[in-house]
Each structure stands twice: as structure tokens, then as C-alpha cells.
Amino acid sequence: MDFALNEEQLELQQLVREFVAKEITPYAAQMDKENHMRDELVPLAAEMGLLNVMVPEELDGMGLDSVSIAAIYEELGKGCAGVATSIAANSLATLPVMIAGTDEQKQIWAEVVNNGGMAAFALTEPGAGSDAGGVATKAVKDKEAGTYTLNGTKMFITNGGIADIYLILANVRKSGGIRGLTCFIVPKGTPGLSVGKKEDKMGIRPSNTCELVLQDVVVPEANRVGREGEGFRIAMKTLDSARPFVGAIAVGIAQAALDCATKYAKERRQFDQPIASFQLVQGMIADMAMKVDAARLLVYKACCLRDEGKDFAKEAAMAKCYASDVAMEVTTDAIQVMGGYGYSKEYPVEKMMRDAKIMQIYEGTNQIQRLVIANKILY
């Protein structure tokens, strides 16, 4: 068992750390205030190779292992979880195509994200969150034309307003349910596809989160990923793979909050001594550090199992659930250590706390993760 990153992974981590320090952290507060990711970031991220980490080398992508991707996303999470979410969403949307797509579909998708394009995974709807079977977007096949017509509304879609290509789940069965879920590739600009309301969120504000409206969107049968009714299986495999990476972003948030609280505790003086000398503060710092390290190790374990081709669904759920709970706990404690300053926008921990909350909700709520873990153990 080796708990350390190898030399190549450390070099990659350092490159991303420098990128974050230069291009993300100095602008994080402003992006949060403006509810918008600075326009220069996507081209810069593409130049760094951050948008196509999930694309194999044979398709001219980065083709990185899961541990390397987790290390990257942790660094991005330290700088700004909103930016990290938008970049990680490219991987989320890419996974279904790499899991079940044809060679031609993989090539088409890879060309978009390899050339700096953004992607979006569109599953969630007003009536379909944890219950994927509630997807009401319909896909009606025209056998003679060899096409599908999609109609419906998606919501809370990361990169929804800025994506160049979409992976959309729709139901081919009139009665609905998970057995009719089917995946479709829909390029930006397809007639009938439009962007609706942009969400004004509590946290991860630089991440573009929008409603998508599909009105008689016609796509060729060649754009269907996998077989009809295979969408639920593809989506679950996708989310299993993506969950450790959500955990990695959460670890990044927690580590950044711990670092901020530790620095403050050393500098802040009360009763003629730094508050870091107070045992109650030391106890909080120690608990925060233990939780962050434990969360990181869970993330790496899930990633290692994925790379080894072993069953990792339980560990993926554990990593996502525990790391996001830790992010919420550690950011809350960081604010407590810093007192009124922590609650003020003068310091970044209040933003980290707001960002941490969504980690417990998106890509499967932590209640759902606990059900997954329990089912894996009990059955």
C-alpha cells in the first residue's frame, strides 16, 4: 500500500497548484460576487489540459488515471469550488460516451473537449432528482426518418448555458420509469434546444447552472448512446465514477478552510497570546486535520479501485458522502475558530462554507449515498 502520489502525479499537482494560485484564487471573491466565471478561464483551463482528462490518449485526450484526476480536482477545489465544478462537469458529461458510446461518438465528443469545448450532463428535472425514473423528457422515435424528437425541460444543469455539447437523458417509454431512460448527444445550436433561467445560487456561484428547454429537438439515431432503455445503467456507472471526484473537490474546500483557520489562529492574539496556544482551539484544529486526511484517503481508495478495474461503487459513495460532510463540518469549524472575521467576506471561509453545502447535495444526495453504502453491505 502506497499512500503517496508518484513523481509524475506530484509534478502535475504542482502545475495545477501554480495555475490555481495565479488564475483562480485571486479572482475567486469577484467571481462569486458576479455569479460568473471569468471568461479567460476556460481557454486557460483547456491549455492546461484540464477539460479532457477523461478522454483516452488514443483519442488525443489526457487519459489520466483516477488518482491524478482527484489530485487535480482537489487543487481546483482549494481555489474555487465553483470553477472546479464547471471543469469537473466536462468529465461527468464525457463519461457516458466513453462508457457506452460507439467509436464514432467517442471521436466526435473528444474533438469538442480536446479543442477547449465545454460539456454538460443533463439528467435532473423539476420532477427528477434522486429519482431518475421521474425523468419526463420524452424521446419519440421516427423509424422511417431514423431520428428521435426530444421534448422536455432540464434544470440545475452545470455548464448548461456555456456548453458546446450535451449528454441528455430522455425517456423513450410513454409510461416513463427507469427502463425507458436513454442517452442522447445533442450539440449546441441544435434547433429547439434553448437555455432557460440561470440559477442564482448560494454557493459555487462561478459555475454556470441553467435550465435547458427542449422543444421538438430532432437528433439522428446515430446520436443515441447505447441501446434504448440503457440510460439508467449508463447514468449510474457514470455517477459511480464521478463521485470520488466530487469528494476530491470537497477535500480541497476543507483543506483550504483548515489552512486559513490555522494561519489565522497563529496570528490572532487574545489575552496576550496567539489563540493557537489555547487547547480548545488546538482540539478543533486537530479534529479538522484528521477529518481532512481521512476524507482524502477515502477518495484515493475509491480512485485506486476504479483504476484497478475492481468494484468501487461502495467506496465511491463513501468518498463522496464522507468528504462532503467533512467539507461542511470543517468550513463551519474554521469560521468558529476565526470568529467574526470568519463570518465576514473579508476572509474566504464564509464562501467555502457556502460552497461546501452543495457537495452534500449534487451528484446524489448524501442520503442516497448512505442507501447505496448500506445496500452494498447488506445485500
- Which three cell numbers, joined as nine digits, stand for 90? 466536462
SS3 of 346, please? coil
Angle at 120 between CA 114 and CA 125, to 5 degrees: 170
**Helix residue ranges, H only, the chain:** 7-23, 28-34, 41-48, 66-79, 81-100, 103-114, 231-267, 279-307, 313-343, 349-359, 366-378
Q: Let me know: does 305 contact 233? Beta carbons within 8 Å.
A: no
Q: Is 363 a catalytic residue?
A: yes
Spatial CA neighbour of 170 closest among 230, 98, 93, 90: 230
Please tell me the number of Cα atoms within 13 Å of 344 on its side-chain side: 6
Cell of 128: 427528477
- Pick the catalytic residue from 75, 125, 228, 363: 363
Tell me if 273 sits within 8 A of 311, measured CB to CB.
no
| Residue 152 exposure: Cα atoms within 13 Å on the Cβ side | 24
Number of Cα atoms under 13 Å in the Cβ half of residue 349: 29
Q: Which residues are catalytic?
A: 363
